[in-house]
Amino acid sequence: MKIESTENMLDLKSRWAGGFLNGCVGRAGLGFCLFLFAFTLGSVCLGQSSPSKQVKKSDVIVGFQWLGDAIEYQSPRPGEDPTALGPVSSWFSKTAPQMRGDTFPLTWADDDEIYASLGDPNWGGKDDGLDIEKLAGSPPDYIISRVNPMSDYKGSGGEGKKPSGMISVNGVLYLAFQNLLGPKPPAYGPQDSGKQGEERKVSQHGSDAMIVSSSDHGKTWTPAIADIKQPMFPGNLFGGPVFVNNGKDNANAPDNYVYAVSTNQWDNGSTLRVGRVPADRIADGSAWQWISELKDPNRPRWTSNLQRSISVLNNDGHISLPDMVYIAAIKRYLLLTWALKKPFSSLDGTDLNIYDAPHPWGPFTRVHHEDVWESVDMNPYSPRIPLKWLQVQNGELTGWIQFSGSWRQNSPHYKSHVRQFKMILHKK
């Protein structure tokens, strides 16, 4: 599917409008045609600009509410040596040493721990690239520690390797990361990178993805980054794979495949593709398949050619790096995504969208939408649902959404946050 840019879409609408009016006026009169034109064009624009109205409301999860306010991760913790959190990078020079970072793709592993990878962690001597961390305990008293600084994974923002997905399967951790080949122009949004050291006015491309694995809970990874010459998934169509997590060590997987979803840009992308791979061949790029046809939502067609894949969800500029989990107790998938109010701006706020579906490819229905998520000052992004922290009982899902906060210079929010929620299930 070809996704048109905003300018191209407007040009197409203009050409359509001219043809519509020329053909209509001769048959029905100018007044009626102008009324019909305005109504139709308004409907077309609404479908593209209103993320909360693109899909119908869920009839399985019929309510959503927050339980309390967001809680930011506090560091140093009592008794923790603050010097171990430094030195403070120049970007945060006016703030105290603390655990920073964003993105947080995470998984519930076989040893009952939650493992995550942070982008641009900015603490403990690692200021860029990515690392591996562990989240022990439960909110609000969970504890974050570093497992591996991943010192060879370097580069800030879109210029460096950034995590997109993580999953534990049969005791092995798999990490998907993007930007293997370095910076590239984004598919959408501004492309002026600005001066080095200044906040970049450029959308993150999020492309050229790779998967590595660890058999010792993140202490070592194969293949080594120095041995990787080409991405597993070149380009941006599947440039940020996010593994679909299915409970502890993938125990609740409904079949023998591991699934992943990806948008076509780190921030404010427009499409969502679904890939799958046999659970014992996750790191084998040749074993991956993508949906190529979806005429029957229960029987999609698959292709081994990424270029022939189709998007299963389209929302112009409103699908940023997502998260998807499977809730086995209700046999539904939850999809979380977000969008910046302005492309790659850490100053103007974000929106939040939560969908559910019977399959990783849909059909999607809307669970919750917030036009201004948390606050403009916090500018939250990358929502995740840690399955270890989720409970299903008495007709409700209760859990925590973990997310990152604004990366602007000297931001107090560039760290992990959690907020408790409740989803209400339809009573049968």
What's the full length of the chain, in residues? 428
Domain co-membership, 101 together with 185: yes
pLDDT tens per residue, range 210-245: 999 999 999 999 999 999 999 999 999 999 999 999
**pTM for this predicted structure:** 0.87
Give the domain extent around 29: 6-45
Asked if residue 144 is part of any domain, the answer here is yes
Domain co-membership, 22 together with 170: no
Mean pLDDT of 334-339: 98
Helices 6-28 and 30-49: angle between axes, nearest 10 degrees: 160
Asked if residue 419 is part of any domain, the answer here is yes
Domain co-membership, 15 together with 135: no
How many angstroms separate the CA atoms of 179 and 174, rounded? 17
Residue 157: per-residue pLDDT: 86
Residue 193: per-residue pLDDT: 54
CATH number of the domain residue 385 falls in: 2.115.10
Domain co-membership, 13 together with 76: no
Asked if residue 125 is part of any domain, the answer here is yes
Domain co-membership, 401 together with 331: yes
Domain co-membership, 36 together with 78: no
Asked if residue 179 is part of any domain, the answer here is yes
Report how many domains make up the chain.
Answer: 2
Asked if residue 152 is part of any domain, the answer here is yes
pLDDT tens per residue, range 271-303: 999 999 999 999 999 999 999 999 999 999 999
Domain co-membership, 21 together with 153: no
pLDDT at 383 over 80: yes
Domain co-membership, 86 together with 16: no
Mean pLDDT of 383-388: 98
pLDDT at 40 over 90: no
pLDDT tens per residue, range 175-216: 999 999 998 888 877 665 555 444 455 667 899 999 999 999
Give the tokens for residue 105.
């793709």
29 pLDDT band, cuts 50/70/90, is low
Neighbours of 125 (CB within 10 A): 14
Domain co-membership, 117 together with 209: yes
Q: Are 379 and 347 in contact (CB under 8 A)?
A: yes
Asked if residue 116 is part of any domain, the answer here is yes
Asked if residue 51 is part of any domain, the answer here is no
